[in-house]
Amino acid sequence: MSRLVVVSNRLADPRRPAAGGLAVALGETLNRTGGLWFGWSGTVDPGGTPGEGALQVRQAGAVTLATVDLCREDHASYYLGYSNSVLWPVFHYRLDLADFHTADIDGYRRVNRLFARRLRPLLRDDDVLWVHDYHLIPLAAELRALGCRQRIGFFLHIPVPPPPLLAAIPQHEWLMRAFLAYDLLGLQSETDVGHFTQWLGTEAGAKRLDAQHLRAFGATVRVGAFPIGIDVDEFERLGHAAEAMDTFHALRDEYSRRRLLLGIDRLDYSKGIPQRVRAFRELLQRYPENRHSATLVMIASPSRDSVHAYADLRHELEGLCGAINGDYGDLDWMPLRYIHRTVSRRRVPGLCRASAVGLVTPLRDGMNLVAKEYVAAQDPEDPGVLVLSRFAGAAEQLHEALLVNPYDVQGMAATIQAALHMPLAERQRRHRQLMARIRAQDVHWWRRGFLDALDQCEPASASTSAS
Ligand code: F6P
């Protein structure tokens, strides 16, 4: 059996509950297979040198964790800069928020090269490599340049926008070549596969060899949709543990006469949080029976706060939340509880189960695992209702959620009102159907699907280089 080597920007100790969908999913994957997990340590070394960073290796159960620190300059250009101020906004359809600062691309390439140099000596000939997310698009090309011939797959956790948006990235041709150095490209949805295929077709004249393979720049790559799932069993275990139960009972007691609406996100402009708050305001305005009886709890964990767009969003949100509470709040009721902190993952199932409606309304999202966790946390006898953006990757799987257009604030308010009044039998039916799919297409189904497809690829089929 080949060893699995997972590479991602963020890592977590797979033996502990992590925050963030990607780290949780990869931790659960590696807990099953064992192997090596390589990436950034999460530490910024103020005295470090660009393109350098010592390797640290430690054991966490069956998983070897190998990490590298980044110096301040590399963190600024690779992580805050090119990854999160160019790729993240553009891939989330937000050209208006992209900052095409020329120096950042150098840092992005430098860190990918550093990761390749540090990873290369740790690799065995029969390893299978699985690289994750937009921070590491050029990693395969860098590894190939160092002589790696192992199979390398890439999974993109974020959406792929239509080709004209991708073509606005000054280095987009270089990115295309970098993608083609992988043997397998996994995307979250069929929509993403469609956009990616069109991009390669229109911008690189890629030829479709069959239903799965594309050929361009002398390289062949397999492309497919592999929607990521959650570990349902593990999440259910978390839901029955003391911290989740305590959270559930505390909220049920506190809100015994009120309906709870819940949103849990990273504080990110892709998550549609201001639009959601406006929809809630509209709900109170148009359906006054909800005043004094509905409360929106919004947990937005701090994220990338030294990127301007995130700081701006925080200010906007604080203004909006303050205005709603000021306009509608009363001595015995505040409509909105906005919490700008990370809440322990152990409490999440309890929060979800105590709420009547879960609001997962991103403007764009690769998948959104909170949507799946919300469903998995519910009591099947009395389940809450999931209101889900049609622009989340999860909408391709979760048809029985109430799908909304997050830009349509009035439509969202009407859907929330419908969710609050949905008869029990309909809630149970929808929950049953959603749960069956979430269970069948869980994180292990995702891992198996991707790794089986990678196994079928010819090793090192790519002959291109990103440099
Ligand atoms: O899923 C998208 C993603 O960017 C992951 O790659 C990342 O680990 C997570 O969101 C959280 O973001 P960050 O690592 O920037 O805190």
Total of domains in the chain:
2
Q: State pLDDT tens for residues 277-336.
A: 999 999 999 999 999 999 999 999 999 999 999 999 999 999 999 999 999 999 999 999
pLDDT band at 426 (very low <50, low <70, confident <90, very high): very high
Q: Output the ligand 1 site: residues, CB below 6 A.
A: 9-10, 20-23, 133, 157-158, 303-304
C-alpha to C-alpha distance for 355 and 259, rounded to whole angstroms: 7
8 CA: nearest ligand 1 atom:
6
How confident is the model over 28-47, as a mean pLDDT?
93
Per the domain annotation, does 467 fall within a domain? no
In the predicted model, is pLDDT for residue 461 greater than 80?
Answer: no
The amino acid sitting at 379 is: D
Per the domain annotation, does 465 fall within a domain? no
Q: Tokens in use for 307? A: 């990127």
Same domain for 240 and 211: no
Same domain for 287 and 205: no
pLDDT of residue 465: 44
How confident is the model over 52-70, as a mean pLDDT?
95
Q: State pLDDT tens for residues 143-169.
A: 999 999 999 999 999 999 999 999 999
Q: Is the dihedral of CA 455, 459, 462, 467 positive or negative?
A: positive
Q: State pLDDT tens for residues 384-414.
A: 999 999 999 999 999 999 999 999 999 999 9
Q: How many degrees, rounded to 5, is the angle at CA 141 between CA 186 and CA 225?
A: 5
Inter-residue contact 7 to 130 (CB < 8 Å): yes
Q: How many Cα atoms occupy the beta-carbon half-sphere of 221 within 13 Å? A: 30
In this structure, what CATH number is given to the domain that contains residue 353?
Answer: 3.40.50.2000
Q: Is the dihedral of CA 84, 87, 88, 89 positive or negative?
A: positive
How confident is the model over 93-111, as a mean pLDDT?
95
In the predicted model, is pLDDT for residue 115 greater than 60?
Answer: yes
pLDDT of residue 464: 46
Other beta carbons within 10 Å of 246:
13
Rounded to a whole number of angstroms, the CA Rg of the chain reads 22
Which domain does 374 fall in, by range? Answer: 232-440
Same domain for 147 and 72: yes
Say which DSSP state 365 is in.
B
Per the domain annotation, does 461 fall within a domain? no
What is the separation of C-alpha 192 from the centre of its chain, rounded to a whole number of angstroms?
14
Please say if 365 is a catalytic residue.
yes
Of 119, 182, 177, which is closest to residue 146 (Cα–Cα)?
A: 119
How confident is the model over 337-360, as a mean pLDDT?
97
Instruction: Supply the pTM of this predicted model.
Output: 0.96
C-alpha to C-alpha distance for 14 and 242, rounded to whole angstroms: 21
Same domain for 213 and 242: no
- Among 70, 84, 88, 133, residue to substitute to test ligand 1 (most atoms within 8 Å of Cβ): 133
pLDDT band at 19 (very low <50, low <70, confident <90, very high): low
The full DSSP string for 252-276 is HHHTTTSEEEEEEEES-GGG-HHHH
pLDDT band at 462 (very low <50, low <70, confident <90, very high): very low
Which one of 132, 135, 157, 431 is the catalytic residue? 157
Same domain for 287 and 213: no
Per the domain annotation, does 239 fall within a domain? yes
Exposure string (b/e) for 52-64, b if CB count within 10 Å is 16 or more? bbebeeeebeebb
Per the domain annotation, does 399 fall within a domain? yes
Q: Tokens in use for 246? A: 């305590």
How confident is the model over 32-48, as a mean pLDDT?
94
In the predicted model, is pLDDT for residue 466 greater than 90?
Answer: no
Average of per-residue pLDDT values in the chain: 95
Per the domain annotation, does 93 fall within a domain? yes
- E-strand stretches of 270-370: 294-301, 336-339, 357-360
Q: Tokens in use for 124? A: 């065995």
Strands 35-45 and 207-208: unpaired
Question: What is the 237 CA–ligand 1 centroid distance (Å)?
Answer: 25
Question: What is the 135 CA–ligand 1 centroid distance (Å)?
Answer: 9
Question: What is the 153 CA–ligand 1 centroid distance (Å)?
Answer: 19
Q: Which residues contact 219 (CB under 8 A, 6 or more apart)?
A: 180, 181, 461, 462, 463, 464
Same domain for 202 and 254: no
Strands 4-8 and 128-132: parallel
